[in-house]
Structure 1
Amino acid sequence: MENNVYFSTLRKHLYGLSEEERDDVVSFYQEYAVDAKLSGETLINEFGTPKQLARRVLVDYSIKYDDAAEEEAVDCATGLRQRESSRVKRQLNLLWVVVIGLLTSIIWVPAALAVMLGLFLVIVAGVAVAIILLSLLAMGLFQIVGGFAVIGQSWQTSVLQIGLGITFVGIQIVAWPVGWLIVRTIFASLMKFVKFLGRRFSHSGGTQNGETI
């Protein structure tokens, strides 16, 4: 493959980057190829196919962008909810970019599957926490209503049921933040693993990666 065709194809696969960023990437690898006298098969042996190289570049850019955004968030004056929402969206996008990149290489497919399994477990944990807390809330409301319903028959039973109901409802004040913290911690651990894989992947290269798509 001629170098101009290789780098033209590389540029097309660098979607999501600005024109300036694409120019910087292509220029860097073109200069590297010239200095190392790479062309044709030797170029592919060094960098992999244009799609593989583009995937590694996109993963690297996404990780660096997320790291920079995390540092800026510390000094950001926006609300906590807005920052958390932006972080989740940004990191889900990073996770997607890493998974797509890993799937371009046969030897990285197991790692991609591990990431997807991890995301599935995060979703399961989030749903489980929500179901448990909503069940407690429903039980609490049921106890309160039932307590008032039997107040004329047995005030002791009524007080007990209402007390239990208020307790279950009151637990929600503490339980939801704790539940969110648990899910957030699991997700943060997953993202550390994703970044670890992404950095390893972005620094790999050559035909040993075996393009699959």
Structure 2
Amino acid sequence: MNRIIDNYILQLKQYLIDLPNSDLKDVVQFYQEFLLDGNYHNEADIITELGTPKQLARKIMADYSVSVPEKEETQKTSSKSSLKTIWVILLGVLAAPIGIPLALAAVVVMVAVLIALAAVFIALAIVITSLFVSGVFILVRSFGLLFGGNWASGFFYVGGSMVLTCVSLLLFPIIMKFIRFLTAECAAFFQHIGRRIFKQRYYKVNA
């Protein structure tokens, strides 16, 4: 194999470590054959055609992220998996040719959605934390009333602190489910945008 092509493909494989082995083999084989058939002897020409190995890998992974769910729509994903999908697609869009107006608009929309999503996460975290901390604080303060002779007020505040603490603990799993739903919907939205941008199939190379 051409030494320049060999080096390019080696770097590409290193950036595609998250791609399943079976898919990695097909993708690498396709781009090897593509470069060999094109008789590329200059790294600059390869980069002009495909981008740097890192840029191409980002586009491949983003295309993979928007393609796989079409076959696995029923598979449940965790919040971590959804956030990873969002991040991979965003990086892929950023690696797309900047001359594509849709890509530029998509980046703006994606960043706005991520900011809104982060704001929701922070707000929910503040609510839960505030309730829990308030409950603990009131409980600590109530001890002074219980052992200071004002036991009636002390018991009242103990009850209030337990209510706040229990509410925060009950809200936690509900909010976590809501966050999981929100991130899944956000990932689906990013996938929809990605399908519109990646008209050239970087991952489905044989499509």
Name which of 84, 95, 100 aligns with 2:94: 100
**Structure 1 residues 179 and 86 mapped into 2: Cα distance closer, same or farther (>3 Å)?**
closer
More relative contact order in 1 or in 2 (CA 8 Å, sep 6+)?
1
Q: Which residue is 2:30 aligned to?
A: 24
Equivalent runs, 1:21-60 vs 2, <5 Å:
21-24=27-30, 27=33, 49-51=49-51, 54=56, 57-60=60-63
Matching residue's letter, 1:20:
D
Q: Secondary structure at the match of 1:168?
A: helix
Is 1:192 the counterpart of 2:195? The answer is no
Work out the CA distance in 2 between the residues paired with 1:158 and 1:93: 50
8 Å Cα contact 1:95/1:194 also seen in 2: yes
Is the CA contact 2:135–2:164 (under 8 Å) kept in the aligned structure 1? Answer: yes
Aligned-CA RMSD value: 3.8
- Partner of 1:203, secondary structure, is coil
Alignment: residue pair count? 176
1:140 to 126, 129, 135: 135
TM-score, with structure 1 as normaliser: 0.64
Aligned-pair CA distance for 1:141: 0.9
Matched residues in 2 for 1:153 and 1:100: separation? 66
1:64 correspondence with 2:60: no
CA distance in 1, matches of 2:69, 2:87: 10
- Which among 116, 121, 130 is matched to residue 125 of structure 2? 130
Match of 1:150, SS state, is helix
Counterpart AA for 2:139: I
Q: Helix, strand or coil: the match of 1:177?
A: helix
- Give the SS at the match of 2:112: helix
Q: TM-score, normalised by structure 2?
A: 0.65
Change (3 A) 1:69 1:85: farther
d(CA) in 1 for partners of 2:123, 2:161: 21
Identity of aligned residues (%): 18
